[in-house]
């Protein structure tokens, strides 16, 4: 038998498009992306907050302790890490945190560095930033 013209309906069935997915994968990706973006924004917001306490600091001569508990305030360069000013028994210098200054004397503070606070000298030098990861050195810096 000779091959004749084929009938238009005699071929394979026409291809039908695959059924569309219900969108579960796309909505999961959008949800996870949204959670990631919100998390990053929240972390950034919390990091930018200045809700920690600020404490002032003065550089003092630790050998100048008086019976009333006060120390002599000296220039903050003496407490700077870059300028070691230790003269044996004649004098050692340290930061004095908090306290009430009266003239060249300061009292009612501590030589123990507080944590989780921002420490700033009277000249405005930031000695330690507040929150996590505060500055580990004792000297002034920014």
Mean pLDDT per 10-residue section of the chain, whose length is 142 residues: 64 66 67 79 68 83 90 88 54 85 91 84 79 44 39
Distance between CA atoms of 87 and 66, rounded to whole angstroms? 19
Q: What angle do CA 119, 121, 126 make, to 5 degrees?
A: 55
**pLDDT of res. 3:** 63
**DSSP annotation of 124:** -
- Tell me the pTM: 0.52
Distance between CA atoms of 59 and 73, rounded to whole angstroms? 6
Neighbours of 85 (CB within 10 A): 15
User: Going by C-beta distance under 8 Å and a sequence separation of 6 or more, which residues neighbour residue 60?
Assistant: 71, 72, 73, 74, 93, 94, 95, 96, 106, 111
**pLDDT of res. 127:** 80
- Contact of 74 with 62, CB cutoff 8 Å: no
**pLDDT of res. 71:** 94
- Which value, in Å, is the radius of gyration of the alpha carbons in the chain? 35
């Amino acid at each position: 038998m000779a091959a004749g013209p084929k009938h238009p309906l005699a071929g394979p069935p026409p291809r039908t498009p695959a059924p569309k997915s219900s969108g579960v994968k796309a909505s999961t990706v959008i949800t996870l992306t949204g959670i990631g973006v919100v998390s990053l924004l929240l972390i950034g917001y919390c990091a930018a907050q200045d809700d920690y306490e600020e404490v002032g600091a003065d550089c003092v001569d630790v050998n100048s302790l008086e019976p009333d508990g006060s120390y002599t305030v000296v220039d903050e360069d003496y407490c700077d890490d870059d300028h070691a000013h230790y003269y044996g028994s004649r004098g050692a210098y340290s930061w004095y945190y908090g306290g009430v200054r009266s003239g060249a004397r300061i009292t009612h503070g501590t030589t123990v560095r507080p944590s989780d606070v921002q420490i700033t000298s009277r000249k405005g030098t930031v000695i330690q930033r507040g929150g996590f990861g505060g500055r580990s050195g004792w000297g002034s810096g920014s």
